[in-house]
Amino acid sequence: MNEADAEDYIQDYLDIDYIISCHFYSDGNKWYHLNNHIMMYEDNCPVESVTPINISNDDKNIVEDSIRKLSKEIHIDNKLFGWQFLKDKEGNLYSIDFNLRPFGGFDKGSYDTDVSDQNWSSYLFGNVPPDYITYTDTVRCVYKKKQRFGYSDIDRIKIKLTYLKFEVKTYD
């Protein structure tokens, strides 16, 4: 594409319903699907996030099929990483971000140590993820104001879970 063509490019507008973040570890042989996180939107502004979550059946098939396919195409050795999917208000699900690092919130333990008995960093040093992770708490972040770019301040609420057992699916 030349510079003149680039100036004519107009990106389509998507009215965001939510974004699902899937978290993984790969030991070089298998991908371990460790957790899902959801960010809800209003007027294309983040308003609330929750981790962990179970993905709805409508999205689950697409997400798991995508993971199965990509895990056969790229080799990742000893990394924690994430993949995000955007659901628009029309019901379409899009792959939007694949990143070879944990997504935000990991640094606060919001995905592992603060909500379960697992420490994902230990996987980098030879520990193997279990077949199931029992989540004892959920973290809910409520954004204090709507803003389209970046994130506003939040109220971070930790809630005791009665029971959430997350199957750690593997892909090789």
Spell out the SS3 assignment of 17-38.
EEEEEEEEEEECCCEEEEEEEE
Contacts of 115 (CB under 8 A, 6+ apart): 51, 52, 109, 135, 136, 137, 138, 139, 158
State the pLDDT at residue 5.
59
- pLDDT exceeds cutoff 90 at 58: no
State the pLDDT at residue 27.
96
Q: What are the tens digits of pLDDT across the range 17-57?
A: 999 999 999 999 999 999 999 999 999 999 999 999 999 88
Domains annotated on the chain, with CATH: 14-171 (3.30.470.20)
Quick one: average pLDDT of 119-126?
A: 96
Quick one: average pLDDT of 88-103?
A: 94
Put simply, whether the predicted model's pTM sits higher than 0.75 gets the answer: yes
